[in-house]
Amino acid sequence: MTKQIGNATLYLGTMEDTIGKIEHVDHIFSDPPYLYIKTHDFDKQFNEQLFFENVKRLLPDDGFIALFGRGTSFYRWNTRLADLGFIFKEEIVWEKPAGGGPLNNISRTHETLSIHTKKDGIIRKNIIPYVEQKNLEFESIINDIKHLKAAIKHEAGLNSIIDYLQTGTTKYTRNDNGFGVSLQKGLPLTRPEISIMQRINKGMREKTIIRINAGKIKSVHPTEKPVRLAERILALISDPGDTIYDPFMGSGSFGVACINTGRKYIGSEMKQEYFDIACKRIEEASKQGELFNVKAS
């Protein structure tokens, strides 16, 4: 069964049944079965050889594959990609809002995502709003406020902030580093208070550890990832208009993220229950996008 919803093509079936129907994608972004959750029937063994052979077939030289994973299977997938000639580019850690496995001796508070390129893909620069990037980092936020407070009390600091607010000036020159060490004459520098102002005003670069608030997660699948987490990862590996393939779709969070960020999406899910949920969520996201487009015009 195949369902087309806007820019999303959704298959009801296993990865093995559907991957051969796909001719080309720009990137692959998925959350495969980790093969350690014994209490759920969705965490099933899949044909890894078939999957990774098709990964190499489907991706262009500048394409990425980004996979969530954990444990033995995750490290095996990374080794398989290396054996196929893929190049490791980055590792992202999702810091969960709460630890899983309440009966375990150690609280699991993260999941890992590895990013590989087939040959020459380049990680994109993604800017995150200051408050979102500083999520719950209260001590860091307080330190920034203290720095600004101290700067305002001194003429040079106050003037640099005023210049930045009025003209956007971010650089100044000095011939020493403040400790009597000579620098290149006229070397342009950015005052610390202006760096803080820039982060607050323009945002911050994405980090390799991403924290998402618990209040932003409403799961309908036991291993569901937050849509916002998926959006931030998509911004690192792809551009609007790119086609993203997810052979283990689950409840469709990655598909929703693709629709929200202007990507095309191809997904497959073997369980009817989750397929139906994914279709509904992606259809709602598509309608929201159409509504915004109508208002904008």
Domain of 101: which CATH number? 3.40.50.150
Is the same domain home to 226 and 193?
A: no
Query: How does pLDDT run along the chain (297 residues), one tens digit per residue?
Result: 899 999 999 999 999 999 999 999 999 999 999 865 555 555 578 999 999 999 999 999 999 999 999 889 999 999 999 999 999 999 999 998 776 666 778 888 889 999 999 999 999 999 999 999 998 789 999 999 999 999 999 998 999 999 999 998 887 765 544 444 444 555 577 889 999 999 999 999 999 999 987 554 556 655 789 999 999 999 999 999 999 999 999 999 999 999 999 999 999 999 999 999 999 999 999 998 765 554 444
Which segments within 108-192 are labelled E, that is strand?
108-117, 127-128, 172-176, 182-189
Burial class (CB in 10 A: 0-12, 13-18, 19+), 98: exposed
Whether residue 112 is found in the same domain as residue 256: yes
CA 148 to chain centre: 31
117 and 249: one domain?
A: yes
Do 193 and 214 share a domain, yes or no? no
Domain boundary residue, one of 178, 205, 232: 205
231 and 109 in a common domain: yes
Do 7 and 87 share a domain, yes or no? yes
Query: In angstroms, what CA-CA distances link 191 with 47, 163, 194, 243?
Result: 55, 12, 5, 42
Do 136 and 270 share a domain, yes or no? no
Q: Which domain holds residue 148?
A: 131-205
Q: Which of the listed residues 205, 227, 248 is the one where a domain comes to its end?
A: 205
Residues 7 and 99 in one domain: yes
Are residue 241 and residue 177 in the same domain, yes or no?
no
C-alpha distances in Å from residue 65, one per residue of 58, 113, 119, 239: 10, 10, 11, 14
Residues 286 and 169 in one domain: no
Secondary element (H or E) of residue 279: helix 272-296
How many independent structural domains does the chain possess? 2
Going by C-alpha positions, the residue among 179, 177, 198, 197 that lies closest to residue 187 is: 177
- Does 108 share its domain with 193? no
Q: Where a domain ends, among 151, 179, 205?
A: 205
For residues 65 and 154, membership in a common domain is answered with: no
